[in-house]
Amino acid sequence: MTTNTLQIKLSKAITLFIMGITLICCPALHAQSTRDTLKTAADADWIALQQALPMFKSQAERHKYNSKETSNLARKQFEYNYQKKKIKLAKAFWDNYPQDARRHHARAIFIYANPYFIGEIPSEQQQFLDSLPSGEFYQMMRKLPIDHKARQQWLEKGNEMVAEVLNSQAAVEQKEDAAFSLLYRDFQQATIYHGFLPKKRKQKSDYWQMVSTYYWQGLQLRFDEHIKKYASLPILAERAKTILSRLKSYAPEYTESFWKHLYKGQIDDHGNLANEAGMKALRKTASDQMRVLEAVAGNKALEMEFTAMDGRKISLTELRGKVVLVDFWASWCKPCLAEIRYLKEAYEKYHEQGFEIVGICFDDERSRMHVKELLRRNKMSWPQRFEGSGFTSDSYRHLYGITSLPTVWLLDRNGKIVNKQARGRKLEPLIRQYLGLDKKE
């Protein structure tokens, strides 16, 4: 054996000996190396998931989606592909990193995605659906084939995720969050299919109220059970607002009865839960909501207090004696922007005679500077409320049940809502009417 060969063998033996000693004597070093590798992979996968959250990756993609040339079917397929990628990445993160605290956020992303599982569309049906005008959107949705297998897999995986949390040693807040995500997922699915029902006609109002009662009763029973189980958590009040503000779009009468049900405490049959923090918060929210319902119906004066973007303290109570337009809007809402010229004309012409505008902006925090510039550029000097939570999460949207923009409420001198259509050319005659100007001429 040559000297060089002996040296090579000796070097390998020493290397293997050192590695063995390291693994035996310092297992922590090996474990740390594994953890670092996993952390690097988890961080990379988390970044990929976060990057998949925005619906549009570019302005060009957004423009194409919003283009009149894009069919309803193409938009729905785009939405589905977006949701599919999101739930795939969220599921992978949940499965691959059981010790990562971020997996609970991944679980929420997966469950709240609420995709509409579009099945394979035959070419002749594709042509027909593509040809339907925008006004036939719901007809198109009723005719879309559903991928039942993919939908069932998504439902079962969500159930599995939540079951894991509920059967773990997780804190009660985390268990409530998981349980509510499942309840809200099923609620979202119900709203999808309820929304595709044939257009409701006034002459069948009793019929549709009966449909709503039986359709949504299961939701109420499930939410009642959720409340009983997590009665100690104040977040129940927010949960109620989240569900019922959306339910109002589909079943306004049933929503009102739901709030009354919560207000009367009919969930707590024996009064054992009355002093729990969650029940107290829920009762207060329901009480506030009952007052709002009365005001929105025009039966009592509307109450609203906030600090405007420019620092002014605004209270509708202090504006009694004036005719006030409450304008719910957002900078991304094109019909809202189209109303600005009518608002400015009315404000400049009638402000000195007792007309006031109160703006409620539903933009999120990222748009704050954009909104300020829009107000400055358009010389919109009336007070603006800006919470910065965005349309989906804004507390006023939940409290007042705002389901679409723009929404406008015209208040008379007593603070009562007298008109909800005071837009465009309709605005000025209504202002004159409630200021009593036409009587003076």
Are both 228 and 337 inside the same structural domain? no
Are both 247 and 356 inside the same structural domain? no
Q: How high is the pLDDT of residue 72?
A: 82
Does residue 5 lie in a domain region?
no
- Residue 364 φ then ψ, to 5°: -95, 175
- pLDDT > 90: percent of the chain: 56
Does residue 322 lie in a domain region?
yes
Does residue 129 lie in a domain region?
yes
Are both 283 and 320 inside the same structural domain? no
Gap between the Cα atoms of 164 and 167, Å rounded: 5
Does residue 336 lie in a domain region?
yes
Gap between the Cα atoms of 430 and 422, Å rounded: 7
What are the b/e assignments for 127-136, b being 16+ CB within 10 Å? eebeeeeeee
Are both 259 and 361 inside the same structural domain? no
Are both 429 and 289 inside the same structural domain? no
Enter the pTM of the model.
Answer: 0.74
Residue 236's pLDDT band (cuts 50, 70, 90): very high
Whether omega before 406 lies within 30 degrees of 0, making that bond cis, reads: yes
Note down the domain range covering 361: 305-440
How many domains does the chain contain in total?
Answer: 2
242-246, 336-340, 397-401: range with highest mean pLDDT = 336-340
Gap between the Cα atoms of 396 and 401, Å rounded: 8
The three state secondary structure string of 306-344 is EECCCCCEEEHHHHCCCEEEEEEECCCCHHHHHHHHHHH
- Which pair of tokens denotes residue 315? 């209270």
- Mean pLDDT value of segment 414-428: 96
Q: How high is the pLDDT of residue 30?
A: 45
- Cβ burial, residue 395 (10 Å; 0-12/13-18/19+): exposed
Are both 335 and 424 inside the same structural domain? yes
Are both 349 and 425 inside the same structural domain? yes
Does residue 346 lie in a domain region?
yes
Are both 230 and 159 inside the same structural domain? yes
Does residue 22 lie in a domain region?
no
Q: Which of the listed residues 236, 265, 296 is the one where a domain comes to its end?
A: 296
Gap between the Cα atoms of 126 and 143, Å rounded: 10
Q: Which of the listed residues 271, 296, 321 is the one where a domain comes to its end?
A: 296
Does residue 43 lie in a domain region?
yes
Are both 314 and 262 inside the same structural domain? no
Q: How high is the pLDDT of residue 125?
A: 83
Does residue 392 lie in a domain region?
yes
- The residue with greater pLDDT, 13 or 55, is 55
Q: Which of the listed residues 236, 267, 296 is the one where a domain comes to its end?
A: 296
Are both 168 and 287 inside the same structural domain? yes
Are both 275 and 423 inside the same structural domain? no
160-169, 181-190, 266-275: range with highest mean pLDDT = 160-169
Q: How high is the pLDDT of residue 159?
A: 97
**Long-range contacts, stretch 257-262, CB < 8 angstroms, 24+ apart:** 258/216, 258/220, 259/286, 259/289, 259/290, 259/293, 260/286, 260/290, 261/220, 262/286
- Mean pLDDT value of segment 353-371: 95
CATH number reported for the structural domain that contains residue 433 in this entry: 3.40.30.10
Q: Are strands 323-329 and 355-364 parallel, antiparallel or unpaired?
A: parallel
Are both 309 and 286 inside the same structural domain? no
